[in-house]
Amino acid sequence: MPQTKDDALSHLLDTYSVEVTSRDTASLKAVVSQLRPGTEVFVANLPKETADVLVKACAELRQAGLEPVPHIVARNIADRAALDDMLRRLTGEAGVRTVLSLAGDRDDPAGEYDASLQLIRTGLYEKHGIGRVCISAYPEGHPRIADGILAHAMADKLAALTEAGLQPLLVGQFLFDAGQIVSFARDLRARGIAAPFRVGVAGPAERTKLIKYALRCGVGASLRALKERSELAKSVMAGETPEDLLRDVAVAAAAEPSLGIEGVHFFTFGDPGSSVRFAEGFRGAAISRQTFSAAAGA
C-alpha cells in the first residue's frame, strides 16, 4: 500500500490513458513523441469521418509502440457489413485489441444501430479478436438519460460482455469532484458490479476551456465546485490541473482497494501533451523518491 499521498497518486498514475481525435495530426504526433510504449490512446472518430481515417490513426499509434483504443460509435455505423469491415481493418492493420463501444450523441443514426449494446450483441467484437471492451460510466449522471435507465443499460452491457467472453472496463466521464467519483465506485461495488473502473478527468487546461467542454458534456454539480474555487475568482484564465482531485481519489483507492479503481483516463481537449507531462511528472517524482530511499538504506 502506498505510504504517502504522493505515493498514492503516483501509484494511481501507473496506469493512465489519453484521448485524441483521429484527424488531429498534432495530437497524434504529441502522443507518439511523448508517451511510454504500451500506453493506451483512445481515438475518437467524429460523425462524418470515414473508417479510413480511424484505421490510419490507429495504425500510426500501433507502429509507434502505443496501444490504440478506437471509439466504435453505434450511431455512426451504416450497417453490420460496415461494422464488420471496420473491425477487420482495425484489428488487421492496426493490431487493435481493445475498443470503446459507444452509442454516440447524434440524433440521426447513420444506419441500423443506435446503442452500444447492439454492437456488443453482434458477435463481431469477438469474431475479430477484440478481447476487451470499454463502456462509458457517468459518475455525475447523464444530461439526457435518467439514472435508472443508465444503471439498467450498464448492467445489460456488462452481462452481454460476460456472455461473449469479453473483458469489460468502465471509463468515467470527466468531472471535478473527487467525492462523487469515490461514491460512484462504492455504489458500483454495492450493486455487485466487479468491472474495473478507470477514473475520467479533464487534463490540464485553461479554466475557460474546461467550463466550455463541461457545459457541452453535461457536467453539472461538479462544475459548480470548479467555479467556486477561490483561484477561479482571481483569474478565470488561469490554468487548472486535476492534481488535487486525483490526489484525493488516489488516497481513497489506496485505503479501499475494493473500489476497483484502475488508473486514470485523461480527456485532453486537443492538448494531450499537457496531460502526458502532468502524469509523467508525478511518476518521475515517485521513481526519484524510490531511488533515493533505496540508496539511503543501502
- 34-63 pLDDT, tens digit each: 999 999 999 998 888 899 999 999 999 999
Show the domain range for 135: 5-297
Q: Based on the number of CB atoms within 10 Å of its own CB, is 121 exposed (0-12), middle (13-18) or buried (19 or more)?
A: middle
Please give the Cα distance from 86 to 228 (Å, whole number): 45
Grid coordinates in use for 173? 466521464
Phi and psi at 237, nearest 5°, equal -90, -5
Contact 149, 178 (CB under 8 A): no
- Number of Cβ within 10 Å of residue 288's Cβ equals 10
CA distance 178 to 184: 10
Q: What is the mean pLDDT of residues 268-291?
A: 76
pLDDT at 5: 85
Provide the pLDDT for residue 210. Answer: 62
Q: Extract the C-alpha cell encoding 60.
A: 500510426
The pLDDT value given to residue 207: 66
Helix/strand/coil for 13: coil
Residue-wise pLDDT tens digits, 179-235: 999 999 999 999 999 999 999 999 987 766 666 655 555 555 555 555 554 344 343
pLDDT (0 to 100) of residue 212: 63
Asked if 77 contacts 83 with a C-beta cutoff of 8 angstroms, the reply is yes
Confidence (pLDDT) at 220: 55
Task: Give residue 205's pLDDT.
Answer: 75
What are the tens digits of pLDDT across the range 63-111? Answer: 999 999 999 999 999 999 999 999 999 999 999 999 999 999 888 899 9
Q: Which residue has the higher pLDDT, 211 or 154?
A: 154
- Tell me the CATH number at 174: 3.20.20.220
pLDDT in tens, 224-260: 555 554 344 343 334 578 899 999 999 999 999 999 9
User: What cell was used for 13?
Assistant: 498514475
Number of domains comprising the chain: 1
Query: CA 123, CA 142: separation in Å to the nearest integer?
Result: 27
